Amino acid sequence: MEGSLPAASANQSAAPQHVVEICLDNLKDEVLNILRNEASYKETIRKLETELSVYKRAFVDVDTELKASQFQLLETEELNKRLEKECHSFKTQDKGHRVVMLLDGDGAIFSAQFIGQGQKGGHAAAQLLSDSTLQHIATNYDSRAIQLWVYVFFNKRGLVDAFRRTGLAPFINKFEDFVLGFNQATERFLMVDVGNTKEAADAKLKVYLEDEIRLPETFKIIFGGCHDNGYVANLYSQITAGYKEKLILLKSYTEMAAGIAALGLPSLAIPELFMLQKIGDETPPFSPSHKSPPLSGKVNLGFNPPLPVISRPIVPNVAIHKQKPAPCTLFYLKSSCKFGSTCKFAHDYVLTDAQRDELAKFNKKVPCPTALSGGQCKFGDSCCYGHVCPFLPNCFFFKQGKCKFRQANMHATPGGG
């Protein structure tokens, strides 16, 4: 009995642990496990940090390359734009920069209104021809900078005789001055008397057409021989050779010759620059035996009735601006009246230089409509109307508040005595 007591004490000492103790033991094990793995975790973190640093450097490198690529792309786009401009410039140069006008002056005869002004008329005709042609080219084809060359071939003796027979004798003495003024207008304008040999002007025009149209620097040929079917074969030959795109027809008479109209080429008309009908050919009664040399084939001398005298007589001892009807200011001073034959003022006086000066002086007494409305006149000092009161500094009407130059800047010394 006594030998069993120690065994009972042992069983009592082996009693189960409390649940808290068990949890603490487990927690202790976990802590010990964490402490044992701390070095491994630190090594893992170090590796991850190293990898992150590598990724960051890679990102920076890629971002730098991306920005460099974007910059290079912009440079490439700019280079492409410059190359496109250069390519367009080369193409434009290939198309040529010269516009050549060839005129048969025996048929495309300048208006008597210009011829009657002599040298000034030659200048004015050349200016109108140049302005109208360049505007037509810029509007319908290309706005590039071009050079305009004009060649006019005519039979002076034949034209003078035709003028004499048809009542245009007053213009004969002015014709030579007109030619001089036309040639002086610009270095590239040339009006040439080819003599009275038959078909002389034809031959010149045909040769120039053949040579000029084949030059690479020639952009357009403007052909002013539309009144004569004799040029049809030459024009058609150029069309067949592939030069149709270079050809423009310049109308002089109201209607073209049927054969030339049938070619279907683009055309240009310049109002009031040329006579609209062919000059007649009636032998004057005072000289039945007179025989004029043949023209070059373009002036139709069979028109009936003959062209009437165009000039309107000026009433003597009457100021030029008081003629009935009054002369058109824009026509005589600027050669640019847009109303043409419908203008209510006269275009058919033949004015001397003194009369033109008189008309210009009078018109300076008329306020410029643009300046009067407070605008800026594009003509400036060359405007044919007045920009300042002509009675300065002693304008009586300004003092009364009734001067028609009513803008303040039209009186340099307002209220001056």
Maximum Cα–Cα distance across the chain: 190
Query: What does the pLDDT look like over 140-180, one tens digit per residue?
Result: 887 667 889 999 999 988 888 888 877 777 788 889 999 99
Burial of 406 (0-12, 13-18, 19+ CB in 10 A): middle
Q: Quick check: 117 pLDDT over 50?
A: yes
In the structure, what pLDDT confidence band is assigned to residue 417 with cuts at 50, 70 and 90? very low
Question: Which amino acid is located at 306 in the chain?
Answer: P
pLDDT band at 138 (very low <50, low <70, confident <90, very high): confident
CA pair distance 284, 305, nearest whole angstrom: 13
pLDDT at 275 over 70: yes
Residue 293 pLDDT greater than 70, yes or no: no
Per the structure block, which two tokens stand in for 143?
């706005």
Other beta carbons within 10 Å of 353: 11
pTM of the model: 0.49
pLDDT range class, residue 252, cuts 50, 70, 90: confident
Structure confidence at residue 216 as a pLDDT band (50, 70, 90): confident
pLDDT score for 415 = 45
Measured distance between the N- and C-terminal CA atoms of the chain, rounded to whole angstroms: 162
Q: Half-sphere exposure of residue 400, counting CA atoms within 13 Å on the CB side?
A: 6
Count of residues making up the chain: 417
Task: Give the per-residue pLDDT at 127.
Answer: 93
For 189-208, what is the mean pLDDT? 87
Q: Over the stretch 304-355, which tens digit does the pLDDT of each residue have?
A: 333 343 467 888 888 888 898 889 888 888 767 777 777 888 888 888 888 8
Q: What are the DSSP E strand ranges found in 31-114?
A: 98-104
- Which of 68-72, 180-184, 398-402, 409-413 reaches the highest mean pLDDT? 180-184
Average pLDDT, integer, range 362-375: 85
- DSSP E strand stretches across 255-296: 267-269
Q: Average pLDDT, stretch 82-87? A: 82
Average pLDDT over residues 126-136: 91
pLDDT confidence bin for 89, thresholds 50/70/90? low
C-alpha pair distances (Å), 13 with each of 16, 20, 25:
9, 18, 19
320 vs 407, which has greater pLDDT?
A: 320
Say what the pLDDT of residue 280 is. Answer: 56
Q: How far apart are CA 53 and CA 217, in angstroms?
A: 67
Distance separating alpha carbons of residues 298 and 292, to the nearest angstrom: 15
Which of 285, 287, 320 has the alpha carbon at shortest distance from 306? 285
Could you give the angle at the alpha carbon of 401 between the alpha carbons of 400 and 406, nearest 5°?
140
Q: How confident is the model at residue 197 (pLDDT cuts 50, 70, 90)?
A: confident
251 DSSP β-pair partners: 269
Hey, which of 81-85, 221-225, 390-394 has the most confident mean pLDDT?
Answer: 221-225
Cβ-Cβ contacts under 8 Å for 51 (sequence gap 6 or more):
none
Nearest to 97 by CA among 144, 51, 55: 144
SS3 category, 218: strand
